[in-house]
Amino acid sequence: MKKLTVNAMSATYDILIEKGLLKNSAEYIKNNVKAEKLMIISDSNVAPLYLDTLKSGLLQYGFSVYSHIFTAGEKSKNLTTVSKIYDALSENEFTRKDCVIALGGGVCGDITGFVAATYMRGIDFIQIPTTLLSQVDSSVGGKTGVDTSYGKNLVGAFYQPKIVLIDPDTLDTLSEHYFADGMGEVIKYGCIKSRELFDFLKENDAKESIEEVILICLRIKRDVVSEDEREAGLRMILNFGHTLGHSIEKLSEFSLSHGECVAKGMVMISKATEKLGITKSGTTDEIIKLCEKYSLNTDICYDIDAIAESAKNDKKGSGKMLNLVVTPKIGETLIHKIDKNELAQILG
Ligand code: MG
């Protein structure tokens, strides 16, 4: 078993990675929470595959186990879904000493974490991510939240899980499309922090060494989050490709996956900063090639002005300025501040 410990300011917790971990997860849950009652939150795609396995393990350990299933997809990531889960918890008399478990991808983890942060002003929660995107990224670091009609993740909280349990076997049921989605974030880690990872992905098939790839990505994320839990500085580098990626995601009305949009966002920003002389020439081509290798389309299918306009509302901006995460070369980052109104111009 591979283990990483996150030492965030607000909490310390472990990430465990092992094939087959899902069926043995009760033991680790027992050791990390005081709850007697557990509510598993999952979606309509994941629940039929893994809910019974998780549930039966937990029942053997004497927990009272409840579940709540929502319709799979980003469109469910809103306050209506959250409200239904609050009701399910209240109906079953969950108290502050009980616990919720996120069994699913990024959407499930974000919703469940937000519920945990706010129900009775905070109850324990556990992350059991089942997609590549959530295993390498969203299940770790404590960002929770939902979308509003104005944008992604506009309502949320920083709230850390008690433990993160990663079973790479759950990736076997993932479609090619969702594997590629996760690879968008994997490639991002290479771009921002590790030339070595970037080259490894170039020269090998990530799928064949997925446990190792997950570990490398999470080690980077762990180090960043341990230093800057609340995104006061360093954590911003994890947003490489995200400012524009979020805009594209929104313009597509969430029909494009997050990882795909991050890939497009990385290429767009890298192309712009290469032109400005901030990024080493040839970098954008390298990113495009690697994205294409992992079935990520990097074509920019929306009007640049529309993308820039939407990016102005990004919550990472402050006042008139926008903080752009830039890679001067693969494996390194810097923050480039620009006036929001200049964005369209530099992208054009
Ligand atoms: Mg992301």
Domain residue spans in the chain?
2-173, 176-347
CA of 34 to the centre of ligand 1 (A): 31
CA of 37 to the centre of ligand 1 (A): 31
Q: Is the pLDDT of residue 85 over 70?
A: yes
Q: Is the pLDDT of residue 279 over 70?
A: yes
Average pLDDT over residues 308-322: 80
Q: Is the pLDDT of residue 23 over 80?
A: yes
Question: Looking at this protein, which amino acid is placed at residue 103?
Answer: L
* Domain 2-173, CATH: 3.40.50.1970
CA torsion sign, 315 to 318 to 321 to 322? negative
Report how far residue 219's alpha carbon sits from residue 229's, in angstroms, rounded to the nearest whole number: 15
Looking at residue 318, the DSSP 8-state letter turns out to be B
CA nearest neighbour of 151 among 310, 263, 321: 310
Report how far residue 136's alpha carbon sits from residue 92's, in angstroms, rounded to the nearest whole number: 33
Helix (H, G, I), strand (E, B), or coil: what is residue 276?
coil
pLDDT at 260: 97
Average pLDDT over residues 326-347: 94
pLDDT in tens, 234-251: 899 999 999 999 999 989
CA of 56 to the centre of ligand 1 (A): 32
* Domain 176-347, CATH: 1.20.1090.10
CA of 12 to the centre of ligand 1 (A): 22
Q: Is the pLDDT of residue 316 over 70?
A: no
CA of 95 to the centre of ligand 1 (A): 32
Report how far residue 346's alpha carbon sits from residue 338's, in angstroms, rounded to the nearest whole number: 10
Q: Is the pLDDT of residue 3 over 80?
A: yes
CA of 240 to the centre of ligand 1 (A): 9
Report how far residue 302's alpha carbon sits from residue 82's, in angstroms, rounded to the nearest whole number: 31
Question: Looking at this protein, which amino acid is placed at residue 201?
Answer: L
CA of 192 to the centre of ligand 1 (A): 13
Measured CA distances, 145 to 114, 115, 218, 290 (Å): 5, 8, 20, 30
Report how far residue 126's alpha carbon sits from residue 99's, in angstroms, rounded to the nearest whole number: 8
List residues with catalytic annotation.
121, 143, 185, 221, 231, 235, 239, 242, 246, 258
pLDDT in tens, 207-237: 999 999 999 999 999 999 999 989 888 899 9
- Of all residues in the chain, the percent with pLDDT exceeding 90 is 89
